[in-house]
Chains A and B, each alone.
Chain A
Amino acid sequence: MMGAEPAFPNFNPLGIEEWLGELAAGFAMTVYLYFVALIGGFVLGLGLALARQYGGRVLSRIATAYIEVIRGTPLLAQLFLIYFVPYSLNAWFTPDGPPLLDVTWSVRIFGVTVLNHAIFSTLLSLGLNSAAYQAEYMRGAMASIGSGQMLAAQSLGFTKRETLRYIIIPQSFRRMIPSWSNEASYLPKYTVVATFVAVEDLFGMAKLIVSRTFLALQTYVFVGALYLALISVIAKALDVIYERTKIPGL
């Protein structure tokens, strides 16, 4: 029989409970970044997909170029580019030149900072980045619809715009859910780039807590579990939406 002496006397299974407030705030910031970027990326992605698939020579090339550049460069580089633009410009301005660009602005609601230069840059880069990926999922769904329905709509007298609106888009939204759920579940993890421009998202908070407490194991496991919970809920919700909107018989 061993004595009451534990094998790891220094092991404190929790030790992070006094940081729950920070973790909650970080989680809220991550969820906020995620949803705004996902929705912004959805709207822009739809435009890009339509432009690439149906936009004619010029528009489709512009959309293709945008998508390839975004997908071919690191998200972090895109964020830094956007984040440092005003700093770089300010560095070039001479004292008697134009006024310096403000990078200290912020929008607060009930004492919580919802927008400042860093958050805005993060939202913008995440949204612009996600749009490129979402566009490709949408385009895949559009391409799978086949030209027959397009011809049928046009021979009823539909304009191209009406055809897209009433025939193509409603079907491609349904069809894209399974593949698009990839992007919906990648994006929460990409929001960690916010930490690099000092936005206090969930991952940033974790780093902060670890630097103060050295409780790396339980902090990162706990934070990882939060990401997992968030993504599981999203995946389940998308499954339900997919089943509910499925076209009978298909």
Chain B
Amino acid sequence: MKRIMRRYYTEAKYAKLLGKKIAWITSGGPVEPLIAMNIIPIYPENHGAMIGASKLGGKMSEFAEGLGYSQDVCSYVKDDITSSITKESPVPGGLPEPDMLICSNNICGTVLKWYEIQARKFNVPLFIYDTPFVHTEFTDEAREYVNEQTKEYIRFLEKHTGKKFNYKKMKKVGHLSLEAMRLWKAVLDTAAHKPSPLTAFDAFFHLALIVTLRGKKVVVRYYKTLLKELNERTAHNIGAVDNEKYRLLWDNLPIWFRMRWLSDKFASHQAALVADTYTQAWCGVIDLIDENDFLGTMGEAYTRIHLNVGVDQMADTIKTFIKQYDVDGLVMHSNRSCKPYSFGQYDIQKLIREMDIPVLMIEADMTDDRKFSESQVETRIDAFMEVIKQRRK
């Protein structure tokens, strides 16, 4: 993983020398056409996660606040704005500058503002892949709208690369992307085994490739190897957490700067966070994609992802996971950065009441460590685990 990511960022750094263009793209954005066009996709959100994991998030948010950005907005945006000015980054030299920006609002409206800011700063073209929200229904006109945008997107790429779109390569990329998603799903599915061979913390780590490079062979190869390893572990009943006794489900983005601590904390209670709603987002819509018509079906698939549907549908997904992974409790990260993910969590709790499992809500932020109180979270986790243990007796 480290090697692949290093190579990816190094290639991006020398993109100009290689005659390649760079597109910054949002984490839920349609990346496959970029790969088909040999454009290097760069994910500021993945970078944000790395900044968070390097514990630079609070400091970098603070810098952006000094420029006038609010304390109360998504910290990924602030991390990125800061890094693009100061070049401070876990990636040497920071992210390579974009030739174009691709923004899909299927994850939030925040990215729209973010990409507008960066489009002004870098003075590069911006394409918005606009995915109407699916409160209850994916309408016919929405389907037509996104499908037409796929064509618009391709014209945009042709215009800004000066090259014809490569439909033949796109076919291959589509297949590879889907294969990667299927493998990713298989990887996550292994967690249904008791004891689980992987935890959500592992999934957060291995996620980087399906986010950034799906559609490339290397991703397929990587997840095949990973899956093999996990299958061996299940065959020998080797759990990711020693003596796994309790199984939990995680909701929302990870708290990148406290992964180790949280994982140890739960493990100390013999609890494994076996699954999460976040990493599932990259394989949740496989069924909507037609393998032989990727371009024709990706519009719907990108529109109906977990974050772009109503709270009741999100609750249904969570119910499915609770059953599939047979968990004893749900841990919800109420993420101050991410309103679309966090607002509605209380109602989800009500909607899943019939599942009769305890729910813990942790208030934090995915990268801004100023918004995390270790002692408070620790007390709450201990109390929550107490409840779960009591119920087992």
A and B from one complex? no
A interface residues (Cβ-Cβ under 8 A, vs B): none
